Structure 1
Amino acid sequence: MENERKKEHLENFLKSNFKSSNLLENVYIEHFALTDLNFDEIDTSVDFLGKKLSFPLLINAITGGAESSYDINEDLARLCKHFNIAFESGSQKVALQDEELVESFTVINDILDNKDVIISNLSALSSLEDAKRAVEMLKSDAISLHLNPAQEIVQFEGDRNFSGILKNIENIVKNLDVPVIIKETGCGISKKTCEKLLNIGVKYIDISGFGGTNFIEIENLRRTDLDFTNIYGWGIPTAKCIIDCRKVSNDFTLIGSGGLKTGEDVAKAIILGSDMTAIAGEVLRFLIHGGYKVAEDYLKSLIYQTKMTMLLLGVKNIKELKKVKYKTFGKLKDIL
């Protein structure tokens, strides 16, 4: 049942067509014509989870468990290895329930080793014991616990009871041997949510704002009894999430995600306050529709575009990129 649902998620992701905006286009950054940098010397490396990455990006796998997931996870791991970026698994719940599906996740360990960043993934409602098993399964550097109430409430067989979720997260944060990342799944992390998470000791937050993969639509496409098309637009745009959460504190790692597609998007996410960025759907589309080489070319272009944006802003590394001044306008300015 769970395995079949994961297969439907992948199919419906490819069918989804709701147009949304993360409002990064409402961020203005200014061209600097007197740039005196050598493009080849621009440094995009960052330290993340105690390891050095060549680029501030993690690839979020949005699937796991179905037969096709084996090949997808293998290719995503190869991409992460090639570009020295971080890999985050899709939800491992199915593998904890069915041993036959474990291999569709552990295939990444044939490609990635202890020099690479590997992140496990489960629901924030999961038990501490399951979190430990998920980390052990992939020999992970961290676990990402996802918050997805909007998806669950639309999902026919989804969770309806979220009571005690903050205490559950706190228990895992305090008793797990690896760092815990808290992430949304496309509806965003608000300032209030960020404050509550930091208060219980969370040090890594993936804001996963509105404007990218739309799990409300993906789940709605599985239903025939009720219709949720009127709430496809529910969520906090990525740009607002980053700005609001960064204002709360500088003392945590903020991962900016939600509809990032271009190098300029990556640069803007970092300028607004992200330490890292994450992409899922865009890479998956290129991989499924075009194959490994097309996905590889996309990421190569993304990295080149980011370095190009840095050159045109006159900044030589990520630390300087974070200090670039920006202005907001339009809808983003209105809702801030």
Structure 2
Amino acid sequence: MIAERKDAHVRFATEQHRRHSGHNQFDDVSFVHHALAGIDRSDVSLATRFGGIEWRVPLYINAMTGGSPKTGVINRDLAIAARETGVAIASGSMSPYFADASTADTFSVLRGENPDGFVLANVNANATVEKARRAVDLLKADALQIHVNVIQETVMPEGDRSFASWGPRIEEIAAGVDVPVIVKEVGFGLSRETLLRLQEMGVRVADVSGSGGTDFARIENDRRDRPDYAYLNGWGQSTPACLLDARGVGIPVLASGGVRHPLDVVRALALGASAVGASGLFLKTVLDGGAPALISLLSSWIDQVEALMTALGARTPAELTGCDVLVHGDLRAFCADRGIETGWTATRSRSRTGSHSTSSYRTHHETIGGTR
């Protein structure tokens, strides 16, 4: 039953990605062009640091799948691509492993094919500390993701219906495992209020994972006998909205959900993300062309992110938070309703004390969302 559900998730997610219009609120974010801002590419470093974690590049393959023979093959290809490009990788929810230990290799392949890479295990918010430790041990994981997905569970025919324990469980896991804990949504976004609660719980990092990409309300609705919950399609806040809402919360944030190309990666970094992840496009790429196709895509993205940083005058991902950014359209309307001032993002380069001042960039970043 679980294996069938995981295979269905892959099928519906892929179909959804193929028919997606391509527009989302990342298109409401643009850079002010400064023609003399560029620097030498040799001076650019893609390394990013946040919550005691350091990655070679500010890009990761976010949680997708596992739990069936087919998804085990997908995870193998994802792991090979991560190994060859140096990007971090997260497993899909490991609930199938807890229900059936014979599915272990569909997850452990992530470490088997990527022995020296940064691997994140993934559990749901109902997991016990013991299960969280088992997940970390199976993958020899460097960090643990806890996913929160109340809307998906609500629409899922066999989903959870009790959510009051999630907060206490997250707090217990954060205190009970020996690796950094990252709490992530699955595509509906983390609000400022949620981020502040997570910080109080001892969570080290949060992945805002907003709307605009794979829609799990739609996926679960597609799995129902009747599309009873079609009105929930598109629920939640976009990733750019979550990043702007997160300003000053003090917990490092990652960005995923609706990321389509390297410009979206750079936009998210400029809005305060420490790193940026994607799932849907990477899944489609692997299904169409295997690990070689994803290696090519990831390599291209890394190269283009570095090129854009060079043109924008950012020596590190953190320095992108000193670039001038304009907020338009529906995203600006969201900010107005939430009381989020956006004018400062359009002129923040003016406060630099000298050309590309590291200290002033750092000040801007601390204002946005914590120390990398």
Specify if TM > 0.5: yes
Amino acid at match of 2:112: D
CA apart distance, 1:243: 1.1
Q: How many Å separate the matches in 1 of 2:268 and 2:130?
A: 34
Residue 237 to residue 104, structure 1, CA distance change in 2 (3 Å): same
Equivalent in the alignment of 1:117: 118
State whether structure 2 residue 320 is matched by structure 1 residue 318: no
Which one of 54, 67, 73 corresponds to residue 71 of structure 1? Answer: 73
> How far 1:322 moved relative to its partner?
2.3
Match of 2:106 in 1: 104
- Partners of 1:39 and 1:308 lie apart in 2 by 7
Structure 1 residue 71: Cα displacement: 1.5
Instruction: Classify 1:22/1:181 alpha carbon distance in 2 versus 1 (closer, same or farther; 3 Å).
Output: farther
Alpha-carbon shift at residue 62 of structure 1 (Å): 1.2
C-alpha spacing 1:123/1:226, structure 2 compared with 1 (3 Å)? same
Structure 2 counterpart of 1:56: 58
Structure 1: state its 5+ residue gaps: none
Query: Which residue of structure 2 aligns with residue 275 of structure 1?
Result: 274
Where does residue 169 of structure 1 map in the other structure?
170
Counterpart Cα distance in 2 of 1:159 and 1:104? 24
Contact 2:48 2:316 in 1 (8 A): no
Note if 1:287 corresponds to 2:286: yes
Superposition pairs of residues 117-136 of structure 1, within 5 angstroms: 117-136=118-137
CA distance in structure 2 between the partners assigned to 1:195 and 1:270 by the alignment: 20
The Cα offsets for residues 22-67 of structure 1, whole Å up to 9 and x where unpaired, read as: 4111112122322452334421122356564321111113111111
Higher mean C-alpha deviation, range 128-137 or range 226-235? 226-235
Which letter maps to 1:310?
A: M
Q: % of aligned pairs identical?
A: 34
| SS across alignment from 2:121 | strand
CA distance in 2, matches of 1:169, 1:102: 23
Contact 2:30 2:327 in 1 (8 A): yes
What does residue 84 of structure 1 align with? 86
**1:316 CA drift (Å):** 2.1
C-alpha separation in 2, matches of 1:87 and 1:332 = 29
Distance 1:296 1:150 in 2: 33
| Equivalence for 2:29 | 27
- Matches of residues 191-202 of structure 1 in structure 2 within 5 Å? 191-202=192-203
Instruction: State the aligned residue count.
Output: 333
User: How far apart are 1:276 and its partner, in Å?
Assistant: 1.2
Offset, 1:21: 4.8
Partner of 2:300: 301
Cα distance in 2 for partners of 1:84, 1:295 equals 12
Q: Please tell me whether the aligned partners of residues 30 and 313 of structure 1 are also in contact (alpha carbons under 8 angstroms).
A: no
Relative to structure 1, is the Cα distance of residues 21 and 186 closer, same or farther in structure 2, using a 3 angstrom cutoff?
A: farther
Partners of 1:21 and 1:236 lie apart in 2 by: 15
1:89 is displaced (CA, Å) by 0.4
1:203 aligns with 2:204: yes
Question: Does the CA contact (< 8 Å) of 1:61 and 1:73 recur in 2?
Answer: no
Distance 1:273 1:141, change over 3 A: same
Higher deviation after alignment, 70-79 or 12-21:
12-21
Deviation at 1:304, TM superposition (A): 2.0
1:3 aligns with 2:3: yes
What is the TM-score normalised by the length of structure 1?
Answer: 0.94
Where do 5+ consecutive residues of structure 2 fail to align? 336-372
Aligned Cα root-mean-square deviation (Å) = 1.7
Classify 1:247/1:58 alpha carbon distance in 2 versus 1 (closer, same or farther; 3 Å). Answer: same
1:93 alignment partner AA: S
1:227–1:28 distance in 2 versus 1, CA, 3 Å: same
SS of 2:248's equivalent in the other structure is helix
User: Structure 1 residues 186 and 291 mapped into 2: Cα distance closer, same or farther (>3 Å)?
Assistant: same
Output aligned runs, 1:136-147, within 5 Å: 136-147=137-148
**Separation in structure 1 between the aligned mates of residue 76 and residue 62 of structure 2, nearest angstrom:** 13
1:180 is aligned to 181
Letter in structure 2 aligned against 1:106: S
Change (3 A) 1:89 1:269: same
Distance 1:162 1:51, change over 3 A: closer
TM-score by length of structure 2 reads: 0.85
